[in-house]
Amino acid sequence: MTDGWPVALAFAFLTAVGFCRAGATYLVGRGARHWGARRGGRTGASTTSPAVQRAERLVRRLGPVAVPLSFLTIGLQTAIHLTAGALRMPVRYYVPALLVGALIWATLYTTVGLAVLGSLWGGVDRWVLGLAAVGALAVVGVNLVLRRRAGAREPNR
């Protein structure tokens, strides 16, 4: 990158922001699940509904993949982290997946963000702009694939 840009600081800051924001959303989901179980008259956070048990197994099995990929989506990230918390995705799986996702998110925002600032203020290397473009295309591509899959699963109304 260009001299004088605090790339390491920006990357560390954005990683921390992504980690804390998504982690807090996960904790809200866990709290909502616990509060809902207590409000509903149950003594614990567990339910015996077969649908809930299937969903919990799915999150335990696919959650570590869904969590980092959620950082490449727009409008779906919060729902995935909230659901992971509500469905009690084990912390031992969630935290490493969260860290990978936060690193992905910080990489995209550091490269794209500094590329935009550099182009506005001048003095950015061309490879940074190329990397930013590739990152932006990756985000758009993941969103298109997820929306098509979601649309294919919806029943015709």
Delimit the domains of the chain by residue range: 7-153
Shortest CA distance to 82 belongs to which of 46, 131, 33, 11? Answer: 33
Shortest CA distance to 67 belongs to which of 49, 79, 56? Answer: 79
pTM for the whole structure = 0.63
Shortest CA distance to 24 belongs to which of 126, 74, 111, 98? Answer: 98
Instruction: Kindly state the tokens that stand for 40.
Output: 């509903």
Shortest CA distance to 97 belongs to which of 69, 61, 139? Answer: 69
* pLDDT value for 56: 65
126 residue type, one letter: R
Within 10 angstroms of residue 33's Cβ, the number of other Cβ atoms is 20
Express each pLDDT in 10-63 by its tens digit.
899 999 999 999 999 999 988 887 676 666 655 444 555 666 566 566 666 777
Shortest CA distance to 58 belongs to which of 29, 26, 27, 80? Answer: 80
